[in-house]
Amino acid sequence: VTTFLQILCNSVSLAAVYVLLAAGLTVYLGVFGILNFAQGDFATIGGYVTFAVISGLGLEIYAAAIAGVLAGVAVGAVFYFMVLKPLWRAPPISQVLATYGLALLIEGIIEYIAGTTPKAITVSRSSLHFFGAYLADTSAINGGLALALILALFALFYRTRTGRKIRAVAEDAEAARLVGISVPRVTFLVCIVGGTLSCAACVTFLTSLYLTPTVGFSEIFQAFTVVVVAGLGNVVGVLWAGVLVAIADSAASYFLGDAVGQLVGFGIVIAVLLIRPTGLAGMVSEAR
Amino acid sequence: MKHYAFGRWVMLSAAATVFAMVLAACGSSGSGSGSGSAHSPIYIGAYMPLSGVTAPEGQELLAGYKFGVSQVNATGGIHGRKLVLVTKDDAGNPTTSASVAQELGNDSSVVAVLGTFGSGTAIPSSAVLEKAGVPNIQPFASAPQIVSRGFKYLFNAYPLSTYIDDLSIIKCLQTSCISKPKTVALVYDDDPFSIAAAQQFQAYAKSNGISVVTSQKIEDAQPSYLSTATVLKNTKADLVWMAVYDDEAALLMPEMSQLSYVPKYVYTDGSELIDPPVVSAAGKLTVGGLSGLGWYPGSPVAESAAFMTAYKAKEHTAPTLEEAGGYQAVEVLVQALESLPASDINRNAVRNALASKTFSTIYGQVKFAKDGQGTSQVFLIQVEPGLKQQVILPTSPSVPKTITYLGQ
């Protein structure tokens, strides 16, 4: 029982990383139909901005992370002007290449400015202890943060007029324009929201990972796995799917070794595609 | 009009991609042409991971090379000829490393090559350099396979991982410098250097009544090693033996600490416990931790002490193991070049000098055996309270050792 509990606790910090990255990914996929390979790199930018604020002003991680999250506004704006505006209706291959190019560009710039030496901050290593299992304080906070942001995103999409406009644009941008919705304004807002969500993942990077220029990109596949399991555009689904993938990852790593744990994401994607393709329903409808 | 804008942005995106690729490969630079005349520069090839997962180690290795070369050039170079580094980024990728080694081999102005970080890339790239007839000094290839191929142009400067273990943790257990653990948990990276060392230690443990309770192979660039830490905790092993990279240790050790798992001993085959980020992150596992190394900052070798002083004076910080290893490779090459007449500096002459001379370096006296492996000292160090390092092995009768247990 203790081991099972520990595996669940181990999953919390992973789940926070996966959920926050997947949330940004699913927003862009669901509304624009664009698979953004640079989503993980957005989080990396947030991480470096947060790190700079901690180093420069000596702020505590969660206070400094506000700057990292705000960096998401600029990141979202860059995505809007560099990828979405010119390529929204372009063939998927152009979109994929553009986002991949953006990812490489971000990594190159970070490497040029900050170098490749890993950046880390000193964080509390204290843990919550229950029934023989340990959960790091930072993991618990990150998990709570991810939960709160997903609920806020759900509220934005399904409980506000802006959310209705976003969903209208996602359904049919031309029809939305005909009924008076400012499509550029809505799409710009969605870009900002997606960028901000991804940059929020910077907290999870800084408390449980070392920052390197490629750290975000290396997590993007697991985030994509979460999106596939949740179903495209399913905001709340990202939450349970992120937790599920994180638990599967942790359990496989524990019982079968680290190398097998790495393959879990691939296995899950293949299984979902074969057994329950409805997880991809949004993608199918987007490609119609 | 829309068509025009679309094309322009596609082009801009493509340009951004190309620009990013150029930035990512910014460590590469051309050699220029070396004539080999009496006053022309001497071109030295150098390749290492400047991008990818092991880029931090590669950057430090390059810094060590640059420091060594700058010292030589500051005193007039070799027979009045300046040294020029021709650097290439191998991205820590075996295929890329072979490709950049081929580029350096094809560059006739390059008289010798300073190698890369890690056995996984050094093994294929040194085969390419062997075929091209380029003497190459590998500073951080510690897998036994590197010197098992009968190469004539390969000179392996860092001790093999199995040799380090032999003269550190295994010798320590044989001489009872720490109390014999009943159980050991092995953690190793999926890399030739660590697999070989793990196999050797597993065999030693089994034949000496130490139970191997788990053997965990970990992958690099993982977001967390909590699962591995949980396995280790559940085994309650007395000794956790590790052969992993610094970035892996920097996650795994704090995570073991986070789970309140403090074994009696942690041993690392590598530089983890002299690496400041790991030391600052490892928490309860730092003081008392044991490391087997070919060099450490407090090394009693006279050349090492002089290097530490010069390095700190210039860089205002202590060198890492990678920086020291880069410097040591330059030391070896420079002494080989200095032994040659100014008019006879070519690949074969450099190779013969490397094969025949004994070199005074920060690792001590180094002589390369026929298989290309250099002799070197090995140290077993332990982190003491105050984060100082004490040498456990080799023993010195004048300095009594007090072993610290983890968590004390």
| ipTM score | 0.74
| Closest alpha carbon to A21 in A97, A72, A59 | A72
Task: Determine the average pLDDT of the residues in A55-60.
Answer: 90
Instruction: Note the pLDDT of residue B397.
Output: 52
Q: How confident is the model at residue B4 (pLDDT cuts 50, 70, 90)?
A: very low
> Using an 8 Å Cβ cutoff, are A249 and A11 in contact?
yes
Residue in B21, B59, B257 nearest the CB of A104? B21
Residue in B251, B259, B281 nearest the CB of A134? B259
* Cα A23 from Cα A234, distance rounded (Å): 9
Choose the weakest-confidence range: A141-145, B9-13, B336-340, B358-362: B9-13
Instruction: Note the pLDDT of residue B7.
Output: 44
Binary contact (B216, A117; C-beta < 8 A): no
pLDDT in tens, B79-94: 999 999 999 999 999 9
Q: How confident is the model at residue B277 (pLDDT cuts 50, 70, 90)?
A: low
Residue of A nearest to B227 (CA): A254
Query: Does residue A283 have a pLDDT over 80?
Result: no
pLDDT in tens, B328-385: 999 999 999 999 998 889 999 999 999 999 999 999 999 999 999 999 889 998 887 7
Q: Which residues of A touch B16 (CB under 8 A)?
A: 82, 101-102, 104-105
* Angle at alpha carbon of residue B220, lines to B228 and A242, rounded to 5°: 65
Query: Does residue A286 have a pLDDT over 50?
Result: no
What token pair was written down for B371? 């298989």
Q: Calculate how close chain B gets to A181, using CA atoms only, in Å.
A: 21
* Cα B195 from Cα B349, distance rounded (Å): 36
DSSP of A111-163? HHHH-SS-B-------EEEETTEEEEHHHHHHHHHHHHHHHHHHHHHHHSHHH
Instruction: Note the pLDDT of residue A221.
Output: 86
Chosen for mutation from B48, B230, B247, B262 (greatest number of chain A CBs closer than 10 Å) is B230
Query: Does residue B16 have a pLDDT over 50?
Result: no
Q: Which residues of B touch A108 (CB under 8 A)?
A: 19-24, 26
Q: Which residues of B touch A82 (CB under 8 A)?
A: 9, 12-13, 16
Binary contact (A258, B222; C-beta < 8 A): yes
Residue of B nearest to A248 (CA): B227
Q: Does B260 touch chain A (CB under 8 A)?
A: yes
The SS3 call for residue B113 is strand
Helix locations, B133-275, DSSP H: 161-165, 171-174, 192-207, 226-235, 246-258
* Cα B320 from Cα B305, distance rounded (Å): 14
Sheet of B265-269, strand order: B211-218, B183-189, B239-243, B265-269, B290-293, B379-383, B389-393
Cα dihedral A201, A202, A208, A214, rounded to 10, equals 100
Choose the weakest-confidence range: A142-146, A180-184, B255-259: B255-259
Orientation of helix A161-171 relative to helix A183-200, angle to 10°: 100
Instruction: Note the pLDDT of residue A76.
Output: 95
DSSP of B57-91? HHHHHHHHHHHHHHHHHHTT-BTTB-EEEEEEE-T
Task: Look at A205 and B68; give whichever has higher pLDDT.
Answer: B68
* Cα B153 from Cα B113, distance rounded (Å): 10
* Cα A41 from Cα A223, distance rounded (Å): 12
Q: Does B386 touch chain A (CB under 8 A)?
A: no
Instruction: Note the pLDDT of residue B13.
Output: 46
Q: Given phi > 0 = left and psi -120 to 50 = alpha, else beta, which region is B91? A: left
Residue whose pair of structure tokens reads 């990109």 in the numeric block: A217
Instruction: Note the pLDDT of residue A278.
Output: 64
Query: Does residue B405 have a pLDDT over 70?
Result: no
Query: Does residue A69 have a pLDDT over 80?
Result: yes
Q: Does A263 touch chain B (CB under 8 A)?
A: no
Instruction: Note the pLDDT of residue B203.
Output: 97
Task: Determine the average pLDDT of the residues in A172-178.
Answer: 92
Residue in A90, A112, A250 nearest the CB of B6? A90
Q: Which of residues 277-316 of B touch A (CB under 8 A)?
A: 277, 280-281, 283
Binary contact (B55, A101; C-beta < 8 A): no
pLDDT in tens, A230-244: 887 788 889 989 999
Binary contact (A136, B258; C-beta < 8 A): yes
- Return the number of other C-beta atoms located less than 10 Å from residue A164's C-beta: 14
Q: Which residues of B touch A254 (CB under 8 A)?
A: 227, 230-231
- Which whole-number Å values give the CA distances from B132 to B102, B106, B154, B334, B348, in the listed order? 8, 8, 12, 21, 11
Q: Which of residues 148-187 of A touch B (CB under 8 A)?
A: none
Instruction: Note the pLDDT of residue A46.
Output: 94
Q: Which residues pair with B328 in a beta bridge?
A: none
| Closest alpha carbon to B244 in B262, B222, B217, B280 | B217
Q: Calculate how close chain A gets to B300, using CA atoms only, in Å.
A: 29
Which range, A136-145, B154-163, B214-223, B264-273, has the best average confidence (pLDDT)? Answer: B154-163
